[in-house]
Amino acid sequence: MLNKALLIMIALLSLPAFAQDGGASSSGYIAMGAALVLAVAALGGALGQGKIGSSAVDGIARNPKAAKEMFVPMILGLVLIESLVIYAFVIAFMLVGKV
């Protein structure tokens, strides 16, 4: 049920991207690609950061003395995930610049 509603919402929200003159321009597809890059990156980054955060809190709750040893790998994982999201953001801006 949720998948059908999501597909219908995406289809309806992407209609303005296809509203172009009769020419051979592909700016609508480039804009949709940029939006898709940002959406997937934000979703993946949020899921990854949530998983890292919950695992760190779970590990600290099980062994409070290991909190100092878990902190640096947790921050490193969060930084790497965020760098991938920022990289996707830059790619999306580069795509929009082609429009």
Look at residue 39 and tell me if it is in a domain.
yes
Tell me how many domains the chain contains: 1
Tell me which of 13-22, 38-47, 78-87 is least confident: 13-22
What's the rounded Cα separation, in Å, for the pair 42 and 25?
A: 28
CATH code of the domain in which 51 resides: 1.20.20.10
pLDDT at 94: 85
CA distances from residue 70 to 54, 65, 84 in whole angstroms, order as listed: 12, 10, 22
Q: Position of tokens 């690609």?
A: 33
**Domain that includes residue 73, residue range:** 27-97
pTM above 0.75, yes or no: no
Range among 3-7, 15-19, 29-33 rated most confident: 29-33
11: in domain: no
For residue 50, report the phi and psi dihedrals to the nearest 5 degrees: -65, -40
